[in-house]
């Protein structure tokens, strides 16, 4: 298996020196603008600017903060545009770092906003008046997962602060799977890639032979795929299918929403598939050694990319949701089963290792 080749070498150098990469002209008519995410391990989101015959389109936007806005506007100026020149706002998914500035940017420009219907459906509960229901459901999910009382309240409300970073915009255009995006001069189609978010889409530029991969395929980290009250039952199965669905796309370069540009989509997909195979085995092993663990207890027995004491708040809840996603997939493939107690307890099936 050949590895990936980093093409965004300046981006990676900036990452290594913990700075913000420069605005880059990736190729004629296409720019990348890093927009900062302070106090977040991702550090920045890469907004892509696509020049049209008149005006520009953007893919993703950044958080709705003054700093992000001024950085985005300054980046557009380097490319020779102002916010008023934006004609289309393409959103890969509605996480705040991608969708946050969509509303403000539309106000400044009159551009249309497009995203997938599965993510559009989540907007009222997540960013609107439905938040109380969402919190009650989240609390119930965490009780079932066995999160102790003293931790649960903190995890239930862990995403509330970030909502300030979103100026929500109802979409004007809904992106179904594999449809052409109406951008004059471009041959762009959507690729629905659920898992990280139910309505995540990548954008395939068939003429330029690049994939705008959003958070679906990143060069260094594996995106969080977690059971959540706004996720379908088995998001990891969806995610692995969606990885396979992009693996053999005929592209020369992948333009992700974080980290740096790279070549070798198939190699990176293989690494991510392997990562989850390994993680499924690790999760299964934890249950085999101690049948009857809750999801929370399983989470504490797995290895994480940093010490558990440094995984706090939102990241801790994401970790619980990721473990649950692996347990659910193990259940559907017949390797583990759950009882109906509260909290739910998980057991290996006798022949689970062969499944
Ligand atoms: Zn995301
Ligand atoms: Zn992101």
Q: Could you tell me the distance, in angstroms and rounded to a whole number, from the CA of residue 115 to the centre of ligand 1?
A: 14
Q: Could you tell me the distance, in angstroms and rounded to a whole number, from the CA of residue 103 to the centre of ligand 1?
A: 18
Q: Could you tell me the distance, in angstroms and rounded to a whole number, from the CA of residue 349 to the centre of ligand 2?
A: 36
Query: What does the alpha-carbon distance between residue 188 and residue 191 come to, in Å, rounded to a whole number?
Result: 10
Does residue 226 have a pLDDT over 80? yes
Strand partners, 191: 202
Section 328-352 average pLDDT: 92
Q: Could you tell me the distance, in angstroms and rounded to a whole number, from the CA of residue 294 to the centre of ligand 1?
A: 27
Does residue 98 have a pLDDT over 70? yes
Ligand number with the minimum distance to the CA of 41: 2
Does residue 10 have a pLDDT over 90? yes
**Could you give the strand order of the β-sheet that contains 44-51, starting from the edge strand earlier in sequence?**
24-27, 30-36, 44-51, 56-59, 86-90, 112-115, 173-174
Does residue 211 have a pLDDT over 50? yes
pLDDT in tens, 247-303: 999 999 999 999 999 999 999 999 999 999 999 999 999 999 999 999 999 999 999
261-297 burial, b at 16+ Cβ within 10 Å, e below that, comes to bbbbbeebbbbbbeebeebbeebbebbeeeeebbbbb
Within 8 A by CB and 6+ apart from 307, the residues are none
pTM tops 0.75, yes or no = yes
Does residue 146 have a pLDDT over 70? yes
Section 218-226 average pLDDT: 96
pLDDT bracket for residue 3 (50, 70, 90): confident
Query: What does the alpha-carbon distance between residue 177 and residue 189 come to, in Å, rounded to a whole number?
Result: 8
Decide: 279 and 326 in contact? Cβ < 8 Å: yes
Q: Could you tell me the distance, in angstroms and rounded to a whole number, from the CA of residue 149 to the centre of ligand 2?
A: 30
- State the pLDDT at residue 17: 86
Q: Could you tell me the distance, in angstroms and rounded to a whole number, from the CA of residue 77 to the centre of ligand 1?
A: 26
Decide: 252 and 263 in contact? Cβ < 8 Å: yes
Q: Could you tell me the distance, in angstroms and rounded to a whole number, from the CA of residue 350 to the centre of ligand 1?
A: 37
Q: Could you tell me the distance, in angstroms and rounded to a whole number, from the CA of residue 96 to the centre of ligand 1?
A: 8
DSSP for 64-110, please give it: SSHHHHHHHHHHHHHHT--GGGEEEEE-S--SHHHHTTHHHHHHHH-
Within 8 A by CB and 6+ apart from 140, the residues are none
Write phi, then psi, for 26 (nearest 5 degrees).
-70, -40
Does residue 341 have a pLDDT over 50? yes
DSSP for 210-250, please give it: EEEEETTS-SSSPPP----TTS-S-HHHHHHHHHHHHHT--
Q: Could you tell me the distance, in angstroms and rounded to a whole number, from the CA of residue 54 to the centre of ligand 2?
A: 28
Ligand number with the minimum distance to the CA of 61: 2
Q: Could you tell me the distance, in angstroms and rounded to a whole number, from the CA of residue 289 to the centre of ligand 2?
A: 35
Q: Could you tell me the distance, in angstroms and rounded to a whole number, from the CA of residue 214 to the centre of ligand 2?
A: 7
Whether residue 343 is preceded by a cis peptide bond, meaning omega within 30 degrees of 0, is yes
pLDDT bracket for residue 156 (50, 70, 90): confident
Q: Could you tell me the distance, in angstroms and rounded to a whole number, from the CA of residue 98 to the centre of ligand 1?
A: 7
Q: Could you tell me the distance, in angstroms and rounded to a whole number, from the CA of residue 98 to the centre of ligand 2?
A: 6
Does residue 245 have a pLDDT over 90? yes
- State the pLDDT at residue 2: 65
Q: Could you tell me the distance, in angstroms and rounded to a whole number, from the CA of residue 60 to the centre of ligand 2?
A: 9
Q: Could you tell me the distance, in angstroms and rounded to a whole number, from the CA of residue 209 to the centre of ligand 2?
A: 22
pLDDT bracket for residue 355 (50, 70, 90): very low
Query: What does the alpha-carbon distance between residue 111 and residue 89 come to, in Å, rounded to a whole number?
Result: 7
273 vs 162, higher pLDDT: 273
Ligand number with the minimum distance to the CA of 97: 2
Closest by CA to 242, choosing from 203, 279, 191, is 191
Does residue 351 have a pLDDT over 80? no
Q: Could you tell me the distance, in angstroms and rounded to a whole number, from the CA of residue 53 to the centre of ligand 2?
A: 29
Crossing angle, helix 265-289 and helix 314-332, to 10 degrees? 80
Task: For 166-190, give the secondary structure using H, E and C.
Answer: CCCCCCCEECCCCCECCCCCCCEEE
């Amino acid at each position: 298996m050949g590895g990936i080749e980093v093409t965004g070498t300046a981006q990676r150098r900036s990452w290594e020196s913990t700075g913000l990469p420069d605005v880059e002209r990736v190729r004629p008519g296409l720019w990348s603008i890093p927009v900062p995410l302070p106090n977040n391990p991702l550090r920045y989101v890469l907004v892509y600017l696509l020049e049209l015959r008149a005006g520009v389109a953007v893919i993703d936007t950044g958080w709705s903060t003054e700093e992000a806005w001024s950085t985005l506007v300054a980046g557009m100026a380097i490319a020779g545009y102002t916010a008023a020149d934006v004609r289309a706002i393409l959103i890969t998914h509605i996480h705040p770092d991608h969708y946050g500035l969509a509303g403000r940017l539309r106000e400044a420009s009159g551009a249309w906003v497009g995203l997938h219907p599965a993510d559009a459906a989540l907007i009222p509960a997540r960013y609107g008046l439905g938040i109380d229901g969402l919190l009650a459901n989240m609390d119930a999910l965490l009780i079932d997962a066995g999160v102790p009382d003293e931790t649960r309240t903190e995890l239930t409300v862990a995403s509330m602060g970030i909502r300030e970073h979103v100026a929500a915009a109802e979409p004007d255009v809904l992106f179904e799977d594999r449809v052409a995006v109406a951008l004059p001069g471009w041959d762009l189609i959507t690729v629905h890639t659920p898992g990280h978010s139910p309505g995540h889409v990548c954008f395939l530029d068939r003429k330029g032979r690049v994939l705008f991969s959003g958070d679906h395929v990143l060069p260094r980290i594996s995106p969080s795929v977690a059971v959540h009250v706004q996720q379908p039952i088995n998001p990891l199965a969806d995610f692995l299918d969606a990885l396979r669905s992009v693996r053999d796309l005929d592209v020369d370069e992948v333009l992700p929403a974080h980290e740096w540009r790279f070549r070798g989509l198939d190699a990176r997909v293989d690494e991510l598939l392997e990562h989850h195979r390994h993680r499924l085995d690790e999760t299964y092993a934890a249950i085999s050694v101690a049948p009857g663990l809750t999801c929370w207890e399983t989470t504490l027995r797995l290895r994480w990319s940093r010490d558990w004491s440094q995984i706090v708040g939102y990241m801790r809840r994401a970790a619980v949701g990721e473990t649950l996603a692996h347990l659910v997939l193990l259940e559907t493939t017949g390797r583990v089963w759950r009882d109906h107690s509260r909290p739910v307890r998980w057991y290996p099936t006798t022949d689970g290792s062969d499944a």
